[in-house]
Amino acid sequence: MQLIRRGRPAVILASEQFAALARQIVRSNQVPESAMVVIPGNPEYVTGEKLTALADRALESSVKQLTAAEKK
């Protein structure tokens, strides 16, 4: 969040299990919620194959948000 507040592109990753807490922390730090990527489910309890798929989707979302931030 420090990077975002200093104008540097960054993304906050949170699992679905902690999404509500992460949103509260984001709001309390006055960081846009659009900087957050939520990973569905609980990565701790999925197979390696599914975890790789979750990570790939999170990476894709993160790259989209970071490149969108660069264009602004």
pTM: 0.73
Domain with 21 in it: 2-71
Weakly modelled stretches of the chain, pLDDT under 70: 69-72
Structure token digits, residue 15: 């699992």
The helix/strand/coil state of 36 is strand
Q: Which amino acid is present at 36?
A: M
Supply 22's token pair. 């992460």
- Rounded Cα distance between 43 and 41, Å, is 6
Kindly report the backbone phi and psi dihedral angles of residue 8, in degrees, each rounded to the nearest multiple of 5, phi listed first: -95, 140
Please write the tens of the pLDDT for every residue from 40-49.
888 888 899 9
Count the Cβ atoms, other than its own, within 10 Å of residue 47.
Answer: 8
User: How many domains in the chain?
Assistant: 1
Residue type, 46: V
